[in-house]
């Protein structure tokens, strides 16, 4: 039986990925901060499922998590834990921003590196780092730290993917870069999306299609593909100004 390891599985995309892999007959390893939600998801799925409660904003907990799965053969890793925050950089909470960087970047990095080493040794595996279309834009005023944190994810994933191709590795890595998705992200980031979001189900559908095609950067919906492509063609200052306008709308 194949095993899928999913972080941030308590809600949103993490929970939806769990449902999809459960349907495909995978054994699941689910992590998140809220044990009750993980237990409820396990009961819903009715599949073999190991629950590990962990707050990945703590670097030591990330390393403990890698120790917890040391003897596991992981076929798919959905590196999904993350959150956002919005507001003027002069006014946003330093503590929340640092916590976000710890989850979005440091935890992502530790778990990515640890699971990749495991997969390289076992000779196979798939890793999906959940980023954001924000990581493909030059900057995101009024969500500046979030945009920067997701740019780290996309850059790291693309760099590592190239390294693996050069050595002929059978391990496949990719990053998911959606636009707005209807999850708990809005409430946690204190924003309201100015653009209509897609469902978590549709986002995962599009992602799995991209993974089957072995794409490195997966962008659900034609609208976001067009937006990110257009951002590469237009002057950077104009793109940043337009992005700032969109972020301001989220806060109104």
| Whether pLDDT at 182 is above 90 | no
**Length of the chain counted residue by residue:** 252
State pLDDT tens for residues 193-226. 556 778 999 999 999 999 999 999 999 988 888 8
Q: What's the whole-number average pLDDT of the chain?
A: 90
Question: Domains in the chain, ordered, with CATH?
Answer: 3-250 (3.40.50.720)
State pLDDT tens for residues 18-75. 999 999 999 999 999 999 999 999 999 988 999 999 999 999 999 999 999 999 999 9
| CA–CA separation, 22 and 44 (whole Å) | 10
Q: Which residues pair with 82 in a beta bridge?
A: none
- How many CB atoms within 10 Å of residue 227? 20
Calculate mean pLDDT across residues 80-104: 94
What pLDDT shows up at residue 234? 75
pTM of the predicted structure, to 2 decimals = 0.90
Catalytic residue ranges: 146
| CA–CA separation, 151 and 139 (whole Å) | 9
Strands ordered across the beta sheet of 125-130? 49-53, 27-32, 3-6, 76-79, 125-130, 171-176, 217-218
């Amino acid at each position: 039986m194949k095993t899928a390891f999913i972080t941030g599985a308590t809600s949103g995309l993490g929970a939806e990925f769990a449902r999809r892999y459960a349907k495909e007959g995978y054994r699941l390893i689910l992590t998140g901060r809220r044990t009750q939600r993980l237990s409820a998801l396990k009961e819903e799925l009715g599949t073999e499922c190991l629950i590990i409660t962990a707050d990945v904003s703590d670097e030591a907990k990330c390393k403990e998590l890698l120790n917890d799965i040391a003897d596991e053969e992981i076929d798919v890793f959905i590196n999904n834990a993350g959150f956002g925050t919005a507001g003027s950089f002069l006014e946003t909470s330093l503590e929340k921003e640092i916590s976000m960087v710890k989850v979005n970047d440091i935890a992502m990095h530790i778990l990515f590196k640890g699971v990749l080493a495991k997969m390289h040794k076992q000779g196979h595996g798939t890793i999906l780092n959940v980023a954001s279309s924000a990581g493909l834009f030059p900057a995101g005023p009024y969500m500046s730290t979030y945009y920067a944190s997701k740019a780290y994810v996309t850059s790291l994933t693309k760099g590592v993917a190239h390294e693996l191709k050069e050595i002929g590795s059978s391990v496949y890595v990719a990053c998911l870069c959606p636009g707005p998705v209807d999850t708990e992200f809005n409430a946690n980031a204190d924003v309201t999306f100015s653009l209509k979001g897609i469902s978590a189900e549709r986002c995962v559908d599009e992602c799995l299609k991209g993974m089957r095609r072995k794409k490195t950067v997966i962008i659900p919906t034609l609208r976001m593909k067009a937006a990110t492509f257009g951002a590469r063609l237009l002057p950077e200052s104009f793109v940043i100004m337009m992005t700032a306008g969109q972020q301001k709308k989220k806060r109104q």
